[in-house]
Amino acid sequence: MLLDKFKVLHKTCESFYYAYDVDPEGHLMKLFWVDATARRNYVFYEDVVSFDAIFNTNRYNMIFAPFIGVDKHDRCVTFAACLLAKEDISHYTWAFQHFLKAMKRNPVLMATDQCPVMKAVVPEVFKAANEYPATKHRLCMWHIMQKFPITPGNRLCKKTDFMEKMKKFIWSSNIEPYEFE
């Protein structure tokens, strides 16, 4: 069983952290884990953490949700991961609390999709504490761009070069606000 493997990992490596929760029938509802490499990566690259739940894509029929960052070579690094039975306030709060417990400090910024639950949970869990400021919550640009064509309309976005022009401005890191406007 998966939990047995985690228990063995924890016994052989003190820096491996995991937590889980089961329902009254003993079914796994929540599972969080982080290893030594992920903790070390977080120390170096904690500036931005991306959290994105991937619905039911695993054999446990649970939501897989990794905590991801970017290293100095622009490569993705995993900070932690969790499996959740639901995408609700209690499950996300639980996952974020264990992330904070394992990492011992708030991320500077957390990027998520446009889930209203995350909008409520991120500032509640990652609030200012001790010497660490509250985490800033931002929306993931990829998710915004996926939904962007809905607003101006399909015809404008698909039958003209409007989207190509917009992408040029949106993804430019050297553009001043007055140029964009």
Per residue in 44-90, pLDDT (tens digit) is: 988 889 888 876 666 778 899 999 998 888 888 999 999 999 989 99
Q: Residue 174 domain-assigned?
A: no
pLDDT over threshold 70, residue 147: no
- Please, which pLDDT band fits residue 162 given cuts at 50, 70 and 90? confident
CA distance 14 to 36: 9
The half-sphere exposure of 104 on its side-chain side, counting CA atoms within 13 A, is: 6
Indicate the number of domains in the chain.
1
Q: Residue 10 domain-assigned?
A: yes
- Please, which pLDDT band fits residue 168 given cuts at 50, 70 and 90? confident
Q: Residue 167 domain-assigned?
A: no
Per-residue pLDDT, 20: 93
Segment 34-43, tens digit of pLDDT: 999 999 999 9
Q: Residue 12 domain-assigned?
A: yes
Domain span at residue 62?
2-139
Q: Residue 129 domain-assigned?
A: yes
Do 32 and 82 contact (CB within 8 A), yes or no? yes
Burial of 172 (0-12, 13-18, 19+ CB in 10 A): exposed
Do 126 and 100 contact (CB within 8 A), yes or no? yes
Rounded to the nearest 10°, the torsion over CA 47, 127, 84, 22 is 130
**How much is the pTM?**
0.75
Do 103 and 47 contact (CB within 8 A), yes or no? no
Comparing 154 with 79, which gets the higher pLDDT? 79
Best CA proximity match to 53, nearest among 106, 92, 3: 92
